[in-house]
Structure 1
Amino acid sequence: MKKVLVAVAMIFGLGSSVAFAQEVKETVAVEAQQAPQDEYTKIEVSELPQAVTDALAKGYEGASIKEAYAAAKSDGKVYKVVVVTKEGQEVTVVMNEKGETVKE
């Protein structure tokens, strides 16, 4: 009789484990690709043309230059400059070699 009870308990145990089994769905990882930064290469702030630094000093009085990037375009070099204003806000400015603001 004990063997029968043990057998019945095992059957119910296995049956209940199947009832609580979860279906595993296959997940697919999607890797986001970041677009290159328009072929801009990081440069030292000291490498910026004088016209660009003068225009930034005039347009963003009291600001400091955090980062600078350069890219060769069909109409000459273009500079992307990250400026920190005296209020602490970061502003990105794109200028040509003459210190004129350019739209990207």
Structure 2
Amino acid sequence: MKKGMIITAVVVAMGMSVPTGVMAADAMETSSAVQQEVTYEKIEIETLPEAVVKSVSEGYADYSVSEAFQGSDGSYKVVLEKDNEKIAVFFNDQGEFLKVEKADDAEE
């Protein structure tokens, strides 16, 4: 009799945890669907914010700026070139480094 009650309690507890797991999975799907892809529009190099220019000159002094883009999220993509190698460096509007990619991977 006691075994039956214990088994019933375990089954009920397991049944209650399944909906929670399903809800968590649904929440994760929703949050990833909310993230939108950033699109970049070409801008004149001279219009880059001073903070971005400063970050480029401090961190990539050996490179020359070949192109600049502004993202739909306010970020900036700066294409730099050195010895026929191009990289795309991403900054926020405060000039803080976000990421770097090979320019071929980051082309629009």
Scaled to the shorter chain, the TM-score interval is 0.5 to 0.7
Q: Does 1:95 align with 2:83?
A: no
Among 74, 77, 86, the residue aligned to 1:80: 77
Q: Answer whether contact 2:89 2:99 (CA < 8 A) is retained.
A: no
Segments of 4+ moved more than 4 angstroms: none
Q: Select the structure of larger CA radius of gyration.
A: 1
Higher helix share: 2
In the aligned structure 2, how far is the partner of 1:81 from the partner of 1:57? Answer: 12
Instruction: Tell me the secondary structure at the aligned position of residue 72 of structure 2.
Output: strand
Q: How big is the shift at 1:58?
A: 0.6
Count of aligned positions: 64
What is the alpha-carbon root mean square deviation over aligned residues?
A: 1.9
TM-score, structure 1 normalization? 0.55
Unaligned runs of 5+ in 1: 1-36
Query: How big is the shift at 1:72?
Result: 2.8
Q: Normalising by the residue count of structure 2, what TM-score does the alignment of the two structures yield? A: 0.53
